[in-house]
Amino acid sequence: MKTMWAPWRMEYILGDKEKGCVFCLAKDTNTDLTLFIGEQTMVVMNKFPYTNAHLLVCPIRHISRLDQLSVQEMGVLTKTVEQSIEILKKVMNPDGFNVGLNLGKVAGAGVEEHLHFHIVPRWFGDVNALAVFADVRVIPEHIQATYASLKPHFDKMDPKAWE
């Protein structure tokens, strides 16, 4: 049997668990995974990513359904997704993207109480037999290194230009 070491997971395993909505907490405390906070939307890195630079884009308002968004919020949310993809193209050079949302626990929503889009950059060969047979993902770059690469680009985003 082979052993895969992941010592960085101990922080999560032993650390205090956050109470409340993770997105609202990220907005209020501007965590070290928060890339962008605008008036209507925000972008955070997924703490448990499928691949490098897996981003989550959500409205600032704590809502759980698309029909709760105003037309303007939907437009700004969509524009934030688009701009996030453009930044990922520039910085990470992926071959494609999976973009979507999970509505309801049965659909895979881990945080069903706060609507959010997933942006998952994809590269040819990023899914291999390890993920299929061992249920293990290999993330080649530390999340803080990815954050450091992306953050300067998100700091330049101007959501007022989208309204």
Residue 93 region by backbone torsions, left for phi larger than 0, else alpha for psi between -120 and 50, else beta? left
Cα separation of 147 and 150, whole Å?
5
CB-based burial, 44-56: b 16+ in 10 Å, e otherwise = bbbeebbbbbbbb
- Is 153 annotated in the active site? no
Question: Considering 62, 116, 118, 153, which one is annotated as catalytic?
Answer: 116
Cα separation of 69 and 65, whole Å?
8
Residues annotated catalytic, as ranges: 116
